[in-house]
Amino acid sequence: MTLEPFGARLRHAMDTRGPLCVGIDPHASLLTSWGLNDDIAGLERFTRTVVEALADRVAVLKPQSAFFERFGSRGIAVLETAVEEARAAGALVLMDAKRGDIGSTMGAYAATYLDKDSPLFSDAVTVSPYLGFGSLRPALDAAAVSGAGVFVLALTSNPEGAEVQRATAADGRSLAQLMLDHMAAENEGAAPLGSVGAVVGATLGDAGVNLAINGPLLAPGIGAQGATPADLPAVFGDAVGNVVPSVSRGVLRHGPDASGLREAAGRFADEVRSAVSGS
């Protein structure tokens, strides 16, 4: 059976568990800080600890695929298990893969992450639109069939992104705004929230674009990159209620103790609630 649309499932998870996404980013320095070796055993221990500590309480877990891919097939096997166990515990899984291609290749990426029969099926996946928004059609269509979501890069938190994302399209809009307008069209009429989200960095100050896309806004940059929950209203304005702040190192550095991870995630979730509500 097709799942309830991702936007509706995400809205419910944010309202009940708090609007927070925690990244699972097992890079070498973080494994070392946990006292683990940078090998498949360390990867497996790290990933299992994060999933067991957080999957029953945070709205979204976001594994970064590259940190698993670097270990080859054994790393992908760890990722498959993490996705399955996180979803079984009630977390929505956002696969941070940032895939972008054309034609049958984009279709294959869509089948990998958005087909319910795939071992890597996730509730949503990140994609890059800068081969043209139309190149994402295989992923958008696959997500609609399975009830999954797609998060499209719009204004990213890395400073280099501006040279492309702030460039001007033929009609005078920035490329980022052009992509956001495409997302808004995809989400038109969806309730309570569309399933096509945008990635907009929390470190941007005033984003300078119209973020009213009727979809979720994934906001990386909280914690180690310098943004705080208190910055969210200034960046996202009236759309702040649809923001899913993403924290990785700000939570993960409190491991390997599970209680430390839980306390850090809970603290960020409380700070986000307070910032969004204005209390």
Q: Which positions are catalytic?
A: 98
Which SS3 state, helix, strand or coil, does residue 278 take?
A: coil
From CA 88, how far away is CA 123, in angstroms rounded?
Answer: 12
Place of tokens 């399955």: 84
From CA 50, how far away is CA 270, in angstroms rounded?
Answer: 19
Q: β-strands 243-247, 21-24: how paired?
A: parallel
From CA 179, how far away is CA 52, in angstroms rounded?
Answer: 36
Which SS3 state, helix, strand or coil, does residue 197 take?
A: strand
Sign of CA dihedral 203, 209, 212, 217: negative
Q: How far apart are the first and last CA of the chain?
A: 41
Q: Which long-range contacts (CB under 8 A, 24 or more apart) does 247-250 make?
A: 247/20, 247/21, 247/22, 247/23, 247/222, 247/223, 248/22, 248/23, 248/24, 248/25, 248/62, 248/64, 248/223, 248/224, 249/25, 249/30, 249/223, 249/224, 250/222, 250/223, 250/224
